[in-house]
Structure 1
Amino acid sequence: MKYLIAGLGNIGNEYAHTRHNIGFDVVAAFVFKHGGEFKNDRLAYHAEVKIKGRTVVCVCPTTYMNLSGKAVQYWLGKEKIPLERSLTILDDLALPLSKMRIKPAGSDGGHNGLRSIQAHLNTTAYPKLRFGIGNDFPKGMQADFVLGKWNKDEEALVKLKIEKATEAIETFLFQGIEAAMNEINNKEYTL
C-alpha cells in the first residue's frame, strides 16, 4: 500500500515557517517523526517512510505554490498512487487558527496551490487537510499575512496543531479518511 502526502508551500528561507508554508512544516514533522529524510528530487523535496507495511511518499513541491500541481501530478504518476490514497496539506484563511479540517474533495477556495493541483489533475476529488490560519489582517493585506511568520502568541498553538495534524495523517493511513475526519473536523484546538 502506497500513499502520497503532499505539503504545500514555497521554497526559500524568506518563506520558511510562514503561514503559507504550514503544509511543508506538517509534512516535515511527519517525516522526522518516522525517521525519514528529505532529499532534493524531481520537482520536490522528497522523502519515503515505511510504517507498518505502508510506504508513504512525502513531497514538498519546489515549484513554488502556484505550480504545486505539476509536482503532485508527477509524483502520483511516478509512484502509481491513486488519488484517494493521497493527502494534500495546506493553509486555509477561511478557518480560524483553532481549527483543522479534512475532506475527501472540495474546491480550491481561492488557494493558488489547490487551483494548480485541480488544473493538473482535472478534478477537485482528492483528500485535503486544511490547517486554519485565521484571517486577522487589514483589508488589502492578505498576501502580507499569509507570507508572514506566526505571531509569538500563536507559536505554541501552531506547534500543538502540527502534532495533531501528523496524528491525523497516521489515522488517514491506517483507518481511512472517515476516521481522520472524525478525529479533527469538529475539534477546537486551544492551549
Structure 2
Amino acid sequence: MWLLVGLGNPGSRYAKTRHNIGFLVLEELADRQDLEFREKTDYKICDGSIEGEKIALIEPLTFMNRSGSAVRKVVDRFAIPPENIIVVHDDLDLETGRLKVRRRGSSGGHKGLESIIQCIGSSDFIRVKIGIGRDQRVPVEKFVLSRFAKEELPAVKEAISRAADSIPFIISEGIEKAMNRFNKK
C-alpha cells in the first residue's frame, strides 16, 4: 500500500495559497481517479488504487507545522513503511512551477516535513516538490501564505498537472525513472 500525503493548511483562508500546493495536487489526482475525500478528526482521506496498487491519499487538517501527527495515525493504521510514502509539498528554493522528485532527504527547513520526520521517525520517504518561488522582500511566513500572482498561474497549473502525473509513474516505474523523467526543466 502507498500513502500519498499533500501538505497544506485547512480552511478557505489558505485554499489557494502557495503553501497549499500539496493539497491542490492531491485534489487533482483524486479527481482523475474519481475518488472523494472523507473527513476524519485530523485529516481528510480517500482510498483506491493506482497501477494495481492500493493507495490512500491524505490531507492533514492539523496545519502545516503539525502535519506529522496526522501522517503518523495513517501510517500506524495501515502499517505503511516510509519508502511507500510520497509527500507532495511546496519548495521556496525552486522557481515557481518547477517540479523535483526526490527519494529522501532532510526537511530543508520545511516545517511540514520536519513534523513528518519527527513523528514517523524516518526521512526515507519520497518527496514531490513544487517550486513556489521566493520574494526576498517578503518574510517567508507571509510569502508562503500568499496567493500566486496572475502571471504565475499557467506555470502553477502545469506543475500541479505534472505532479499528479508523477505519482502513478513513481508507483509503476520506480523512483529512479521518475526522477529522470520529471526533474528536467
Q: TM-score range by the shorter chain?
A: over 0.9
Distance in 2, matches of 1:28 and 1:169, equals 13
Q: Deviations over 1:18-47 (max 9, x none)?
A: 000000000110011100000102421101
Does the CA contact (< 8 Å) of 2:82 and 2:122 recur in 1? no
Aligned-partner Cα distance in 2 for 1:35–1:48: 10
1:160: which partner in 2? 158
SS in 2 for 1:138: coil
Task: Tell me the residue number matched to 1:9.
Answer: 8
Aligned to 1:102: 101
1:48 aligns with 2:47: yes
Corresponding residue of 1:83: 82
Q: Partner of 1:37 in structure 2? A: 36
> Which is worse superposed, 152-161 or 47-56?
47-56
Corresponding residue for residue 173 of structure 1: 171
Q: Which runs of 5+ in 1 are unaligned?
A: none
Partner of 1:67: 66
Cα distance in 1 between the residues matched to 2:18 and 2:12: 13
1:14-29 mapped onto 2 (5 Å cutoff): 14-29=13-28
TM-score norm. by structure 2 comes to 0.96
What one-letter code is carried by the residue in structure 1 that aligns with 2:66? L
- Does the 8 Å CA contact 1:137/1:145 hold for their aligned counterparts? no
2:177 is matched by which residue type in structure 1? A
Residue 98 of structure 1 deviates from its aligned partner by 4.0
| Superposition deviation, residue 175 in structure 1 | 0.8
SS in 1 for 2:100: strand
| TM-score with structure 1 setting the length | 0.93
Residue ranges of structure 2 left out of the alignment (5+ in a row)? none
Q: Is the 8 A contact 1:31 1:49 kept in 2?
A: no
Quote the offset at 1:142 in angstroms.
Answer: 1.4
Shift of 1:52: 3.6
In structure 2, how many angstroms separate the alpha carbons of the residues matched to 1:67 and 1:10?
10
Distance in 1 between the 2:13 and 2:174 partners? 35
Superposition RMSD on alpha carbons, in Å? 1.2
Separation in 2 of the partners of 1:166 and 1:98?
13
SS of equivalent to 2:148: coil
The alignment covers a number of residue pairs equal to: 185
Q: Is the 8 A contact 1:8 1:60 kept in 2?
A: yes
2:13 & 2:97 partners in 1: Cα distance?
Answer: 25
CA distance in 2, matches of 1:98, 1:11: 22
Could you tell me how far apart the structure 1 residues matched to 2:49 and 2:122 are? Answer: 28
3-state SS of 2:39 partner: strand
